[in-house]
Every structure is written in structure tokens, then in C-alpha cells.
Amino acid sequence: MKKIVIERKGSLKGEVTIPGDKSISHRAVIIGSLAKGKTRIKGLSKGEDNLRTINAFKLMGIKIKKTDNGELTVHGRGLHGLTEPENVINAGNSGTTMRLLTGLLSGQEFFSVINGDRYLRKRPMKRVISPLSKMGANIWGREDGKFAPLCINGTRLNPIEYESPIASAQVKSAILFAGLYVDGVTKVSEPWLSRDHTERMLKRFGATLERKGNSVSLCGGSELEPRDIEIPGDISSAAFFIVAALIVPDSEVLLRNVGANPSRNGVLEILRKMGGDIQILNEDEAGGEPVIDILVKSSCLKGVTIGGALIPKTIDEFPILSVAASVAKGETVIKDALELRVKETDRIKAMASELRKFGVDVEEFDDGMIISGNNHLEGCECQSFGDHRVAMSLIVAGLRASGRTVVKDTSCIDTSFPGFKDKLFSIVH
């Protein structure tokens, strides 16, 4: 089992270019495969999760090639150009691959099976199967569709108006991808707006789509047109460097070309509220998404309350935000975050148990936790539970802790950020 050893050294100084956004990379491959013609993708994430999506479409007859300059060319075959896979589609650890493809595969004219690793097979799938079933989809899974593997017998679908009980981009996107295959308008509403990369990209590729407040409507049946896509840096990956620079004394780090989608930038809002010295520079746009440079300097943080509409804007950043809270002055309250219980692992339970090993006082409750900041973290041996974001968060905590910290089971980091350790340690002086 791979482990990483961290010993507190000096400050963090330097400039970092963040790898391409994982969420946008998934969608670029999916939508590019459904468009008629060549889609060129620059800056695609090299994480294992995105490779799972690429391999899935190769299995369904899509030609995808890497060019000499590192770009990816997807030879899309149109909405009805996919072919029945001869083998099981393996989503690995990628919930995005499984849930989004479940929606897409529901409207095909063939049979398919999608499975994942032992962690993904524990994650809830009923949340996408329920609305898709209302559209007429034929999907079977373990425990009445609650868990993967999933068997999908593609069929003609019907439009629906669905009010999602949770704000989830994966649920919304699964329904929208199914909605491409119906005659009429499919509408999805959420209690709060989740990340909107799918809507932005579908519209860019020519889909007839309209958003009002927390609702989005898609008119199905129209073919998509290929587009060149430039993937901005992943703000969820940038968050580890931002927090590391904030909590390690005398640090100053510049992060280049980071995605700043308003439905994803809650981490910046929260860290600034905590007193973080974070400057936004060089605002621009790439591939229909806003991008920025971020200058971060070490800061004395204070506890805050995080809940409500901020949760879906920050759902992937809570492990690293809990590390920031662990050294902040006073209490940080995280609430309304029940979704954290069903991520790659139970992230509330995982971060509470591991932060206690650093000497942090954490009170855990159903939909969140209270973290009492402790200026002094004590090095320890801790466990990632096979969750890439937990692993990277604990490595960052180790940079602030005294003595030696060992993070076990770190091979999972490659699902989203291959080379994370080397990139982080390259700016530690």
C-alpha cells in the first residue's frame, strides 16, 4: 500500500500551473463524442477518472486520439453514432463517469453494463435511476438499483419535469444527457444551483437549452456541432495549494489559469471570509468558462459557519477546508452537508477521525461537523480511506504539523491529480 511521508520544512514559494478541470474534462469527452465531427480538447485532465470516460467511449466505437502537442481529438459520430459495447464499461472510481453515462446510455438502442471499483460499488445510484426511470429508462442494479453494477437496456425515453431533492450536478447532468434523446422538453430543478459545466458546454455545442434560477430546460433531438475546447485549471485541485499557502507561515504562491465558474468558486468565498489573503488576477475566459490567476499569501485564519447555498458550490473542497479550519482561530461549523457522507468515502467521518489524530477537537453530526481550531498540529500516521481528496488534504495538514506525518493508501490520488506530491513539494523551501 503506497504511503507518503511529510516532514515540516519551510515556507511555500513559487508559481504553479494547475492540471485541467476534472469535471469539465469528463463533459468535453462525452459531448465531443456525441457531436458530429472533430472536437479538439486542450488541457484535458490526465487523472484516472477521466481516462475511464475516454475508454468508455472508445468501447462504444468513438475514435479518440492524442496529438503530438498533447491535445485530444475526439471524432464524434452524432447523437445516434454510439455502438453497443462488447464488454462491461469499467468506471473505476469515477462516480461522474458512472452517473453521467447511465443517463446517456438510457436513450441508446442497445444494451450495456457499467461497473466500478469496490468504492464506487458502495456509492448510491438510486438518485439517478429514479428520475431516469420516470423517463421510461430500463435500468437494473444491486438492491433494486441502489448500487452498481448497473445493467441498462436502452429505449425510447419521455421528457419529464423533475424536482431534485438534492443539488447534484451528476443527477442533473444524467437527466440532461438522457434528455438529448427525447422528443420535447426535459426540465430539472434543484433546491440550490449545482455546478453548471454541462449546461454551458451543451449550449456551446448547439443544444437548445435555457436556465432560469435553479432550473434548466433542454429541448431534445437536435444534433450537436463539434467545437474546440480549452480546459481551465481545476479549482478543486487548486484548493490544496491555496490552503497550503494560507496555513504554512511566510508562504506566497501564484496559481495560473484556474477555472472560476461561479457555481464552483465557493472555496474562494469561504477562505476569504476566514481571513485568507487571496488576490484574483488576470480574469479571462477559456472554453466558455471564466479563468483567473490566484495569488495567495499565508494568513491568520478565523472560524466561520458554512452551509446552505454554499454547500453545492464547495462540495469537493470540504476535506481541505476542514484542514484550514483545524488551524483557524475559533470554531468552524459545517452544516447542510449530508452529501459528504456518500462521496468516495464518508468524508465527514474520515476527516473527523484523521484530524483528531493531529490533535484537533472535532464534533461530528449527521450533516456536518464543528472544528475547533488548534494552532499546533502534531504529526501523526493517518489513513486516506481510498479517497483522493482526503489523501491530499492530509498531506497538506502534514506540511503545517510538527514532526513527521505519514499518509497511508495514497495511490488513490492518481484518480484526479497524478503528480500532486511532486508539484506540491517543488514549491516547499
For the stretch 232-285, pLDDT in tens is 999 999 999 999 999 999 999 999 999 999 999 999 999 999 999 999 999 999
Q: Which three cell numbers stand for residue 173?
A: 447532468
Burial 237-256 (b: 16+ CB within 10 A, else e): bbbbbbbbbbbbeebebbbb
Q: In the sheet where 89-90 sits, what is the strand order?
A: 89-90, 111-115, 147-153, 138-141
Identify the CA nearest to 322 among candidates 260, 247, 253, 385: 247
Q: Residues spanned by CATH 3.65.10.10 within the chain?
A: 3-20+232-425, 22-230
Determine the distance from the C-alpha atom of residue 195 to the mean position of all C-alpha atoms in its chain, rounded to a whole number.
10
pLDDT at 1: 67
All 3 cell numbers of residue 5?
511521508
Which own/partner pairs from 267-271 qualify as long-range (CB within 8 Å, at least 24 positions apart)?
A: 267/235, 267/236, 267/239, 267/242, 267/314, 267/317, 267/320, 267/321, 268/235, 268/242, 268/294, 269/310, 269/313, 270/304, 270/306, 270/310, 270/314, 270/321, 271/242, 271/243, 271/246, 271/301, 271/321, 271/324
- Give the per-residue pLDDT at 150: 98
In this structure, are residues 261 and 289 in contact, taking their beta carbons and an 8 Å threshold?
yes
| Integer CA distances (angstroms), 224 to 28, 70, 291, in order | 12, 25, 25
Q: Where are the beta strands (DSSP E) in 116-154?
A: 138-141, 147-153
Q: Read off the pLDDT of each residue in 181-196 and give the average, rounded to a whole number.
A: 96
Neighbours of 127 (CB within 10 A): 18
Is the pLDDT at 186 greater than 90? The verdict is yes
Radius of gyration from C-alpha coordinates of the chain: 21
CA–CA gap between residue 133 and residue 171 (Å, rounded):
13
Look at the block and give the residue holding cell 441508446.
108
Q: What is the pLDDT of residues 401-414, one digit of tens each?
A: 999 999 999 999 99
How far apart CA 92 and CA 113 sit, in angstroms, is: 13
Beta carbons within 8 Å of 45's beta carbon, 6+ residues apart: 19, 20, 21, 22, 25, 231, 234, 416
Question: pLDDT of 100-133, one tens digit each?
Answer: 999 999 999 999 999 999 999 999 999 999 999 9
- Residue 8 banded pLDDT, cuts 50, 70, 90: confident
User: Is 100 in contact with 116 (CB distance < 8 Å)?
Assistant: no
The stretch 5-31 carries a mean pLDDT of: 95
Residue whose cell numbers read 496559481 = 255
- Rounded mean pLDDT, 26-44: 97
Mean pLDDT value of segment 40-44: 95
The contacts of residue 272 (CB under 8 Å, 6+ apart) are 278
pLDDT band at 70 (very low <50, low <70, confident <90, very high): confident
For CA atoms 3, 149, 174, 79, give the dihedral sign: positive
Q: Which of 148, 49, 137, 56 is nearest to 94 (CA)?
A: 49
Name the grid cell of 243. Answer: 490552503
Task: Please state the pTM of the whole predicted model.
Answer: 0.94
Q: Is residue 229 pLDDT above 90, yes or no? A: yes
Fold of 22-230: UDP-n-acetylglucosamine1-carboxyvinyl-transferase; Chain (3.65.10)
Could you list the active site residues? 316
With 80 as the cut, is the pLDDT of residue 199 above it? yes
- Whether the Cβ atoms of residue 56 and residue 82 lie closer than 8 Å to each other: no
Amino acid identity of residue 302, one-letter, is K
Strand order in the sheet with 36-42: 63-66, 72-77, 36-42, 229-230
The residues that bridge with 408 in the sheet, in sequence order, are: 3, 383
Measured distance CA(185)–CA(418) in Å, rounded: 40
Look over the chain and give the mean of its residue pLDDT values, rounded to a whole number.
Answer: 96
Q: Are 58 and 100 in contact, with CB atoms under 8 Å apart? A: no
The pLDDT tens digits of the residues spanning 359-391 come to 999 999 999 999 999 889 999 999 999 999 999
Contacts of residue 401, Cβ cutoff 8 Å, sequence gap at least 6: 6, 8, 358, 377, 378, 379, 380
> What's the gap between Cα 390 and its chain centre?
13
User: Is the distance from CB of 134 to CB of 178 less than 8 angstroms?
Assistant: no
CATH 3.30.413.10 corresponds to the domain 3-20+232-425 = no
Whole-angstrom distance, CA of residue 401 vs CA of residue 244: 11
How far is 129 from 132, CA to CA, in rounded Å?
5
Instruction: Give the whole-angstrom CA distance, residue 417 versus residue 45.
Output: 8
